[in-house]
Amino acid sequence: MSPQPKKNLRGRCRCEDLQFELIDQPLFVHACHCLHCKQKTGSSFGLTCIVLENEIRLTQGLLRSRQESSRTKAYVCSRCDTPIYRTHKAFKATAWLQTRCLEDIRLLNIGAHIWVKRKDDWLELPEDVPQFEEGYHRDGVWLGFEHQTSGRTTAECEVVPFARKTSTLIFNRAPGPTNQSRRGYFNV
C-alpha cells in the first residue's frame, strides 16, 4: 500500500459556512459493506475515515456538538446541522470523519474492506486491499501496513497498554518541524 499524498484534505458542510482541513493524513480508512452503512449512505458501501480529533482544523464557521447516545457525540455545522465528525468514549482522541464532507475523496487510500459478505455481487474489489467477511481486529490490520502519514510501517509504531481492553498506538511522524508523535486510542 502506498503512503497517502501529502496534500491536506479539505472539506465543508452543505451550506459552506463551515470549512475545515486535516493537518495530517488519516490514521486509517476502510470501506464498510454492512447493511447499515449501505442504507445510511444510499450506496454500495460507506467509507470510514479515522483521524485524530485534534488534527481537524476549522478554517471557517462554528461546530456544535450533540449527544447521539451515551457513548457517541456528533459534531455538526452550527448553521445547517451537517455532520462533520463523530467521537466515541471508547476511542479517545480519535474521530470518524464524514467523508461526504471532503472535497476530494480520491485522496483517500482504502486500507481494508469489511463486511464483504454483504457486498453487492456486481461490485469488484481490488485484490491488493485486505477484505474481511465481517469486521477486523485493529492490531492485526493496522500493524504491518504502511502508515499513511509518514510512509513508515505501522509495525514500527509503538503499542503501549493503556487500559483494560484498550491499547495506545503511537504513530511517529516523519522528521519535520514538530517532530511529534501522533497518539490514538483503540479497543483491542
For the stretch 140-182, pLDDT in tens is 676 544 444 344 333 433 333 333 233 334 343 333 334 344 4
Four-point Cα dihedral 172, 9, 95, 53, nearest 10: 60
pTM of the model: 0.69
Query: When comparing pLDDT for 35 and 188, which is higher?
Result: 35
Mean pLDDT of 81-105: 91
Q: Hey, what's the cell of 126?
A: 481490488
Q: Beta strands of 54-146 (E only): which ranges?
A: 56-60, 63-67, 72-77, 83-88, 94-98, 112-114
Mean pLDDT of 74-83: 95
- What is the pLDDT at residue 52? 92
Query: How many Å apart are CA 61 and CA 58, to the nearest integer?
Result: 7
By CB neighbour count within 10 A (0-12 exposed, 13-18 middle, 19+ buried), where does 8 fall? Answer: middle
- What is the pLDDT at residue 171? 41
Residue 63 lies in a domain: yes
CA dist 81 → 76, 148, 164 (Å): 5, 30, 35
| Helices and strands of the chain, counted as H and E runs | 2, 13
Residue 166 lies in a domain: no
Is 183 within 8 Å of 51 (Cβ atoms)?
no
Domain of 28: which CATH number?
A: 3.90.1590.10
Compute the mean pLDDT over every residue in the chain, rounded to the nearest whole number.
77
Whether 16 shows a pLDDT value over 50: the answer reads yes
- What is the pLDDT at residue 40? 82
Q: Find the domain containing 77 and state its range.
A: 10-137
Mean pLDDT of 84-89: 93
Residue 68 lies in a domain: yes
Residue 131 lies in a domain: yes
Residue 62 lies in a domain: yes
Mean pLDDT of 81-91: 92
State the DSSP code for 93: T
Residue 71 lies in a domain: yes
Q: How many domains does the chain have?
A: 1
Q: Which of 110, 63, 113, 106 has the alpha carbon at shortest distance from 87?
A: 63
Whether 77 shows a pLDDT value over 90: the answer reads yes
Whether 125 shows a pLDDT value over 90: the answer reads yes
Q: Which of 124, 82, 75, 94 has the alpha carbon at shortest distance from 28?
A: 94
Residue 90 lies in a domain: yes
Helix (H), strand (E) at residue 140 = helix 138-142
- What is the pLDDT at residue 6? 57
Residue 158 lies in a domain: no
